[in-house]
């Protein structure tokens, strides 16, 4: 009878050991994917633009709004702000791709920030005419897309009549 009892403990111990290994493996796998997901949001800022610069007053008539892809991000605590602005940008002809909270979680103090790569400067100029004077940050993206990051002082799009018509 002691052999059966000893055999039962051994099976139970092996089962517990297997469960521990599976649980540990799943936790490691989940941590890996969480880190990978978090790193996908990090972007290296271009060293040439260590601090945001003010927007220029020149307008860009090289592009039409339909030629500019825009991502709208909310960096405020105002729920639904990005969706509201995205709707307004769509109505003005921009191609809105992503609407979400700011993946960089930047703590902005002004109206907002435009993020774009070297290839997206013309698009950023056109977007800036529509959203108003935003700080600018050039990053290393190779796409022409422009990120519109809404800050706490954002109070609406520029009146349609005030936007230069090309």
| pLDDT per position as a tens digit, 9-27 | 688 888 888 899 999 999 9
Contacts of 129 (CB under 8 A, 6+ apart): 59, 60, 158, 163, 164
Q: Using an 8 Å Cβ cutoff, are 116 and 146 in contact?
A: yes
Does residue 76 sit in the same domain as residue 143? yes
Proportion of the chain above pLDDT 70, given as a percent: 77
One domain for residues 54 and 132: yes
Q: Are residues 58 and 17 in the same domain?
A: no
Q: Are residues 56 and 115 in the same domain?
A: yes
Q: Are residues 111 and 29 in the same domain?
A: no
| Domain coverage including residue 25 | 1-40
Tokens of 153: 């002082």
Distance CA(51)–CA(45), nearest Å, equals: 10
Residues 20 and 100 in one domain: no
What per-residue confidence (pLDDT) applies to 5?
53
Does pTM top 0.85 for this prediction?
Answer: no
Same domain, 30 and 58: no
Do 22 and 60 lie in one domain? The reply is no
Of the candidates 101, 88, 100, 99, the one whose C-alpha atom is nearest the C-alpha of residue 132 is 88
Contact (Cβ atoms closer than 8 angstroms) between residue 81 and residue 53: no
In angstroms, the CA 65 to CA 60 distance is 11
Over residues 112-129, the pLDDT tens digits come to: 999 999 999 999 999 999
| Cα–Cα separations (whole angstroms), residue 87 to 11, 144, 146, 152 | 62, 20, 16, 19
Q: Is the pLDDT of residue 84 over 50?
A: yes
- Do 51 and 2 belong together in one domain? no
Are 3 and 31 in the same domain? yes
Q: Are 75 and 140 within one domain?
A: yes
Round the average pLDDT of the chain to a whole number and report it. 82
What is the count of structural domains for the chain?
Answer: 2
36, 52: one domain: no
């Amino acid at each position: 009878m002691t052999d059966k009892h000893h055999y039962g403990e051994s099976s139970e111990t092996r089962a517990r050991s297997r469960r521990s290994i599976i649980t540990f493996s799943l936790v490691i796998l989940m941590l890996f994917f969480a880190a990978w997901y978090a790193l996908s949001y990090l972007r290296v800022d271009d060293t040439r633009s260590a601090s945001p610069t003010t927007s220029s007053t020149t307008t860009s008539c090289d592009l039409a709004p339909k030629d500019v892809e825009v991502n709208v991000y909310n960096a405020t605590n105002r729920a639904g702000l990005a969706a509201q602005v995205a709707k307004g940008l769509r109505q003005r002809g921009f191609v809105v791709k992503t609407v979400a909270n700011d993946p960089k979680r930047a703590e902005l103090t002004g109206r907002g920030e435009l993020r774009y790569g070297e290839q997206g400067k013309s698009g950023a100029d056109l977007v800036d005419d529509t959203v108003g004077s935003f700080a600018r940050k050039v990053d290393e993206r190779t796409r022409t897309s422009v990120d519109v990051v809404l800050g706490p002082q954002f109070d609406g799009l520029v009146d349609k009549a005030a936007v230069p018509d090309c």
